[in-house]
Chain A
């Protein structure tokens, strides 16, 4: 059967991953929507580490001869899904920041125009007041 040392090693790695995720969540460094998948993966790893026969069973059931290949295949799929999701999120963020930049540009343009108009109005008012003062004197 499986070497006890291997089981201990796998359990330690899985627990460490789980602790890291929980700690990041606790410190509000990880948002809930990304944390769920990592928690699920860590718990899955822990289960497989404790009960390696589970992996063998599933591998046999779907016709994979070497159980570790099922593990690799599963890991690849998960990593692919996660990186695809992150790419999507990055694209969304980029689009949002672009929209914001465009809005900032437009607002600055309007602000410049209003400031100039206000300055001109103030200058005109100063001029008329000066004229009045001169007339009064």
Chain B
């Protein structure tokens, strides 16, 4: 960890910090990403030297946390696996309490190019900015039933939210002030909830959502599934996630 990071933590502990100034936290939820995490952190620090980097180690059994620490990131070690939603809620709460004004989520597997963060930050007047595939830039292709599921999902969500969204399940997203405060308390942790339901929650809270076309790199490890059974299950879960997001009450009264 750098002394810069330490100062930031100190500010957060005192609970003060300049409110007008933008402070960006780049969050990488990571589960067993020891091969790629250090490289991604290096790229982020190169392209955004002003930002702090937080790796949320979501119960990894490999050396993800060590390597992230060595690469100069703040590391939040979760005691067991919570999934991306839980990891992000912890990160949003940390960012909110520490006085950050913006949080950008980046995959630790190298799928998202940190240089694209600029494009997300360039959007004004939106509380949530999604870095989207299938929006004109990049050549990412998905085929078969999984593609239909994604099409259906983007169609329904675009209608609900009133903004064209070509890639609502994208994990590459930027969250500002008010949305950050909301997500620090209420961020769905269920499957697809972190991406899909969170947008509906933000929209219902009167926040604005926008998307920016980004180029995504091919995954460095693992291949996207093309198994028809899995795709069908995915489609079903999409329907369930959207349905739940629609019928659930606004999460304001659940304060515990």
Residues of chain A whose beta carbon lies under 8 Å from any beta carbon of chain B: 98, 101-102, 104-106, 108-110, 112-114, 116-117, 120
Chain B residues within an 8 Å CB radius of A112:
1, 75
B78 on the interface (CB 8 Å rule)? yes
Interface presence of B234 (CB below 8 A)? no
Number of A-B contacts (CB under 8 A): 51
Q: Mark contacts of B71-100 with chain A using CB atoms, 8 A cut-off: 1 yes-contact digit, 0 otherwise.
A: 000111111101000100110011001000
CB of B189 closer than 8 Å to a CB of A: yes
CA distance A79 to B230 in the complex (A): 33
Is the beta-carbon distance between B6 and A102 smaller than 8 angstroms?
Answer: no
| With known contacts A105-B56, A106-B90, A113–B77 Cβ distance under 8 A | no
Assess A116 versus B6: contact at CB under 8 Å? Given A101-B86, A102-B90, A106-B93. yes
CA A98 – CA B189 in complex, angstroms?
9
What is the CB-to-nearest-CB distance from B95 to chain A, in angstroms, rounded to a whole number?
A: 10
Which residues does chain A contribute within 8 Å of B74, judged by CB atoms? 109, 113
Tell me, in angstroms, the Cα distance from A29 to B197 when the chains sit together: 39
> Among A101, A102, A110, which residue has its beta carbon within 8 angstroms of that of B93?
A102
What residues on B are CB-neighbors of A105 within 8 Å? 56, 76-79, 90
Asked if B89 and A110 sit within 8 Å, CB to CB, the answer is no
Q: When chains A and B are docked, how far (Å) is the Cα of A117 from the Cα of B3?
A: 9
Asked if B10 CB lies within 8 Å of chain A CBs, one says yes
Q: How many residues of B contact A (CB 8 A)?
A: 23
B13 at the interface (CB under 8 A from A): yes
Q: Are B6 and A113 in contact (CB under 8 A)?
A: yes
Alpha-carbon distance between A122 and B86 when the two chains are bound, in angstroms:
36
Instruction: Pull 16 A–B residue pairs with CB atoms less than 8 Å apart, ordered by A.
Output: A101-B79, A101-B86, A102-B78, A102-B82, A102-B89, A102-B93, A104-B78, A105-B76, A105-B77, A106-B76, A109-B75, A109-B77, A112-B75, A113-B6, A114-B9, A120-B6
Residues from chain A with Cβ under 8 Å of B86 in the complex: 98, 101-102
Q: Which of B1-53 contact A (CB under 8 A)?
A: 1, 3, 5-6, 9-10, 13
Chain A interface secondary structure, helix, strand, loop or mixed? helix
A35 nearest CB across to chain B (Å)? 25
Chain A neighbourhood of B89, CB < 8 A:
102
Docked Cα-Cα span, A110 to B15, in Å, equals: 13
In the bound complex, what is the Cα–Cα distance between A114 and B6 (angstroms)? 8
**3 tightest A-B contacts by CB?**
A102-B90, A113-B9, A105-B78
> Quick check: A101 and B6 within 8 Å, CB to CB?
no
A38 to chain B, nearest CB (A): 28
A113–B1 touching, CB < 8 Å? yes
Contact residues in A for B6 (Cβ distance below 8 Å): 113, 116-117, 120
In chain B, residues 146-182, which have Cβ atoms closer than 8 Å to a Cβ of chain A?
none
A residues near B5, Cβ cutoff 8 Å: 113
Is there an interface contact between B10 and A101, defined as CB atoms closer than 8 Å?
A: no
- A44 CB to nearest chain B CB (Å): 35
B113-165 at interface with A (beta carbon < 8 Å): none
Provide the bound-state CA to CA distance between A52 and B190, in Å. 48
B76 nearest CB across to chain A (Å): 4
What is the CB-to-nearest-CB distance from B105 to chain A, in angstroms, rounded to a whole number? 16
What's the minimum C-beta distance from B202 to chain A, rounded to whole angstroms? 20
For the complex formed, measure the closest distance between the CB of B86 and the CB atoms of chain A, giving whole angstroms: 5
Bound complex: CA A117 to CA B9 (Å): 10
The answer for the CA separation of A58 and B78 in the assembled complex, in Å, is 56
Q: Is the CB of A117 within 8 A of B189?
A: no
CB atoms of B82 and A109 under 8 A apart: no
CA distance A116 to B9 in the complex (A): 11
Q: Which one of A101, A104, A105, A106 has the greatest number of beta carbons of chain B within 10 Å?
A: A105
Chain B residues whose CB sits within 8 angstroms of the CB of A114 once the complex forms: 9
